[in-house]
């Protein structure tokens, strides 16, 4: 009697909650509410309280879940009495048609995906493609909040003031990297040997058993690498690193990199080799290769490298012998664990399609660039090109006057509140600013410090106006 009353009570609620469900109430009452009512609520699902309100996102998602479980045969569970196949098909058809119709209507109105910002990786790739640069930008941006295991879901891609600030900083760095008026970088093609690295020589040339670097009498110096006739063997995945510091100091660009090495003491197994860029703050993986045992392999790849970066190579599955000891306890001479033997690294680049770089055209379009004569550089070799528009004075005047007129019109005619200029720039002021711009054509590129100071003081009223109105 009590069970019957409980079942009847639950039907009252499911009847209310399911009043709008298209002819599916009987199916749910007979096969679902015993386990999914307010009292039992298995799996956290209470069908007696679940309204058929598809406008509510959580309600829509729950009904989709019900549809999926029934269509897969997971509900009702196999231990329970199974509904007739015809009844199941009818239920799925009725509820499925309603769900699909509503979802189709919503997609037609709002699109399949919600408008969202780019995550930090997408932003980096977009900036690199648009500007034609290789500068890493994602590391400057805060981590994106994952939703449902992905970092591309609009719900998780909020935009805080910190993120806005960092995105603007990343944009500045990208534009700075794109604007390069310097001389064409020299292309190098050189082979480097790890036996010549300063850190390698510091460890191997110091006798074993001598005083350690921290001058602790209980610690003695050990060789952490092994020098072979054709290679240097690195055992640890961490320190000492296989850093190629001889390569550091090169400009950004695309480089062709070749590395020769092999697995050492690896018992017939290949040794995975990871290649990173490293600037002492963070490292970025640019290559992963399997190096065969005992036989040298030369791997070749191209990579876009930032400026002033080092290359670091690390082995995988090395550094620990059969007794669980690492090279720090034993020293490289008696160490029997696998290692990575590195012979040389060959670097060719930067590989340039043109100079000035394509990034300049991406930013400035067809504005002509002219090589600066050496006699005008006054000893400053950092600038090798300058912009040479057909009529720079006319262009500067037009830009300043049109900006002033547009800003003034925006405020007076559209009434959209503050703009960078409170009113249109009077003709006399516009001409004064234009004269400053005319005089800046040479000083901004190759003038003296005094000329630059005079230019900045001349523009001070305009800068103040911009900053004051922007605030």
pLDDT digits (tens, 9 = 90+) for 371-392: 888 777 666 677 888 877 777 7
CA distances from 331 to 194, 203, 335, 385 (A): 19, 11, 6, 55
Q: Print burial letters for 382-416: b (CB count within 10 Å at least 16), e (below 16).
A: eebbbbeeeebeeebbeebbebbeebbebbeeeee
CA torsion angle 194 199 200 201 (round to 10) = 110
Q: Which of 361, 339, 352 is nearest to 226 (CA)?
A: 339
Q: Tell me if residue 457 falls in helix, strand or coil.
A: helix
**What residues in the chain have per-residue pLDDT under 50?**
1-19, 22, 406-422, 441-471
End-to-end Cα distance, the chain: 75
Full set of structural domains in the chain with CATH: 2-110 (no CATH), 120-178 (no CATH), 199-349 (2.60.120.260), 389-470 (no CATH)
d(CA 346, CA 261): 12
Report the predicted TM-score, pTM, of the whole model to 2 decimal places.
0.58
Residues in the chain, how many?
A: 471
277 close to 245: Cβ distance less than 8 angstroms: no
The CB-based long-range contact list for 401-406 (8 Å cut-off, 24+ gap) reads: 401/425, 401/427, 401/430, 401/434, 404/429, 404/430
The predicted pLDDT at position 200 comes to: 86
d(CA 318, CA 232): 15
The predicted pLDDT at position 260 comes to: 96
Strand partners, 74: none
Question: Would you tell me how many other CB atoms lie within 10 Å of the CB of residue 307?
Answer: 15
The predicted pLDDT at position 271 comes to: 93
232 close to 278: Cβ distance less than 8 angstroms: no
159 close to 117: Cβ distance less than 8 angstroms: yes
Strand partners, 291: 271
Q: Which of 264, 244, 238 is nearest to 196 (CA)?
A: 244
348 close to 187: Cβ distance less than 8 angstroms: yes
The predicted pLDDT at position 424 comes to: 55
pLDDT digits (tens, 9 = 90+) for 154-180: 878 888 889 899 999 999 999 998 988
Question: Would you tell me how many other CB atoms lie within 10 Å of the CB of residue 320?
Answer: 16
């Amino acid at each position: 009697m009590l069970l019957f009353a409980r079942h009847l009570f639950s039907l009252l609620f499911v009847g209310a909650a399911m009043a709008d469900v298209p002819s599916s109430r009987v199916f749910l009452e007979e096969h679902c509410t015993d386990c999914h009512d307010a009292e039992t609520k298995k799996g956290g699902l209470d069908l007696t309280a679940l309204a058929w309100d598809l406008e509510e996102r959580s309600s829509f998602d729950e009904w989709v879940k019900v549809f999926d479980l029934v269509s897969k045969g997971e509900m009702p569970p196999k231990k329970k009495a199974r509904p007739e196949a015809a009844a199941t098909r009818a239920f799925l058809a009725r509820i499925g048609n309603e769900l699909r119709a509503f979802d189709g209507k919503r997609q037609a109105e709002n699109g399949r995906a919600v408008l969202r910002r780019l995550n930090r990786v997408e932003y980096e790739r977009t900036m690199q493609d648009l500007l034609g640069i290789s500068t890493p930008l994602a590391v400057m941006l805060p981590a994106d909040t994952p939703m449902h295991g992905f970092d591309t879901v609009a719900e998780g891609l909020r935009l805080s003031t910190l993120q806005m600030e960092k995105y603007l900083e990343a944009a500045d760095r990208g534009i700075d990297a794109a604007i390069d008026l310097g001389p064409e970088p020299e292309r190098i093609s050189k082979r480097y040997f790890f036996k010549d690295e300063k850190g390698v020589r510091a460890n191997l040339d110091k006798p074993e058993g001598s005083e350690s670097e921290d001058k602790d009498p209980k610690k003695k110096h050990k060789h952490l690498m092994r020098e072979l006739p054709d290679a240097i063997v690195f055992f640890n995945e961490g320190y000492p690193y296989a850093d190629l510091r001889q390569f550091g100091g090169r400009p950004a660009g695309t480089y062709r990199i070749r590395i020769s090495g092999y697995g050492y003491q690896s018992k017939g197994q290949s040794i995975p080799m990871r290649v990173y860029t490293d600037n002492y703050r963070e490292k970025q993986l640019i290559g992963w290769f399997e190096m065969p045992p005992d036989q040298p392999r030369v791997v070749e790849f191209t990579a876009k490298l930032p400026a002033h970066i080092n290359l670091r190579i690390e082995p995988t599955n090395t550094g620990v012998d059969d007794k669980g000891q690492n090279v720090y306890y034993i020293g490289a001479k008696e160490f029997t664990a696998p290692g990575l033997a590195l012979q040389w690294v060959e670097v060719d680049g930067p590989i340039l399609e043109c100079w000035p770089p394509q990034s300049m055209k991406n930013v400035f379009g067809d504005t002509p660039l002219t090589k600066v004569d050496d006699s005008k550089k006054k000893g400053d070799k950092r600038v090798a090109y300058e912009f040479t528009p057909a009529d720079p004075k006319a262009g500067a005047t037009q830009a300043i006057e049109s900006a002033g007129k547009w800003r003034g019109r925006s405020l007076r005619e559209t009434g959209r509140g503050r703009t960078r200029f409170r009113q249109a720039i009077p003709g006399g002021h516009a001409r004064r600013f234009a004269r400053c711009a005319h005089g800046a054509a040479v000083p901004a590129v190759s003038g003296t410090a005094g000329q630059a100071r005079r230019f900045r003081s001349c523009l001070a009223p305009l800068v103040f106006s911009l900053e004051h109105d922007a605030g």
